[in-house]
Amino acid sequence: VRPDGSSAAEGEEGEIRARAPQMMKGYVDDSLDPAAYDEDGFFRTGDIGRFDTKGNLVVTGRLDT
């Protein structure tokens, strides 16, 4: 995902976000920051990556480094 929230193109680096039915929505003690999820319910992993020409996700770094 680009910084403006739009989808990155194939080969373009962006923030990795994930969403799946089996993913947790938080912790029992509510210690998960609500900002960890975007407005569409995608989890912000904190990772940077891109999709290669075969559709594989390549993790290239972290947002916080």
Instruction: Give the per-residue pLDDT at 59.
Output: 98
Encoded tokens for 22 = 């089996």
Domain coordinates in residue numbering, the chain: 14-60
Q: Which is higher by pLDDT, 26 or 62?
A: 62
For residue 54, the number of C-alpha atoms closer than 13 Å in the C-beta half-sphere is 3
Rounded average pLDDT over 38-65 = 93
Rounded average pLDDT over 38-55 = 93
Instruction: Give the per-residue pLDDT at 32.
Output: 76
CA gap 7, 38 in Å, rounded: 13
Length of the chain, in residues: 65
Instruction: Give the per-residue pLDDT at 27.
Output: 73
Over residues 4-31, the pLDDT tens digits come to 999 999 999 999 999 999 887 777 777 7
Give the domain 14-60 fold. Luciferase; domain 3 (2.30.38)
